[in-house]
Amino acid sequence: MELILKKDVDKLGFADDVVEVKNGYGRNYLIPRGFAVLSTPSTRKQLEEKLKQQAYKERKNVEDAKEKAEKAEQLEVKLTAKAQNNGKMFGSISAADLSEALGKKEVDIDKKYISILGGNIKRLGQYEAKLRFHRDVITSLTFDVVAEA
């Protein structure tokens, strides 16, 4: 089944992508929840017109995203957490915590666009995260998790 995505769908594609999925996934999940529409000749024409109109706006968005990514790459981020003597933390550090720390340093990014390699962090140390500012602009950020004094 060929569908046109209306919203970004994790591990499938971005908004306005034409994707091929199994019939049940499309009919029972994507279409009812408003994530996609059936790809027909008329919807493809509408998509082409929409993409033409968005081309200029898209260039500006990419430029802004690249500026944010360059700023984020140069940041030195340290998150503090309560921890035991052996380095194991009480609780964990998630993408939301990293998003909040970046927001304090004037790099605004939603937590859903942050992917911490290895999932939630439960030990002190240095970690890496992927930040997606735009579909074409993805950068890596290395950050430290240190114990509270």
CB neighbours of residue 43 within 10 Å? 14
Domain co-membership, 78 together with 143: yes
β partners of residue 141: 129
Q: Which domain holds residue 32?
A: 2-61
CA within 13 Å, CB half, 8: 6
**HEC readout, 45-89:** HHHHHHHHHHHHHHHHHHHHHHHHHHHHHCCCEEEEECECCCCEE
Tokens of 17: 């992508």
For residue 95, what are the contacts with CB-CB under 8 A and spacing of at least 6? 111, 112, 114, 115, 116, 129
Domain co-membership, 79 together with 142: yes
Q: pLDDT tens digits, the chain, 149 residues: what are they?
A: 999 999 999 889 999 999 999 999 999 999 999 999 999 999 999 999 988 888 888 888 889 999 988 988 888 889 888 998 888 898 889 999 999 989 888 888 898 999 998 888 999 989 999 999 988 889 998 999 998 87
Q: Give the long-range contacts of residues 44-51, CB within 8 A, separation 24 or more.
A: 44/4, 44/18, 47/4, 47/16, 47/18, 50/16, 51/16
Asked whether 31 and 19 are in contact (CB, 8 A), the reply is no
Assign residue 32 the CATH number of its domain. 3.40.5.10
**pLDDT in the model for residue 53:** 85
**pLDDT in the model for residue 31:** 96
Domain co-membership, 56 together with 73: no
Question: CA-to-CA distance for 122 and 92, rounded, in angstroms?
Answer: 5
> What is the number of domains present in the chain?
2
Asked whether 31 and 22 are in contact (CB, 8 A), the reply is no
**pLDDT in the model for residue 44:** 94
Domain co-membership, 94 together with 140: yes
Q: Does pTM top 0.75 for this prediction?
A: no
Assign residue 107 the CATH number of its domain. 3.10.430.100
Domain co-membership, 77 together with 124: yes
Domain co-membership, 99 together with 137: yes
**pLDDT in the model for residue 36:** 96
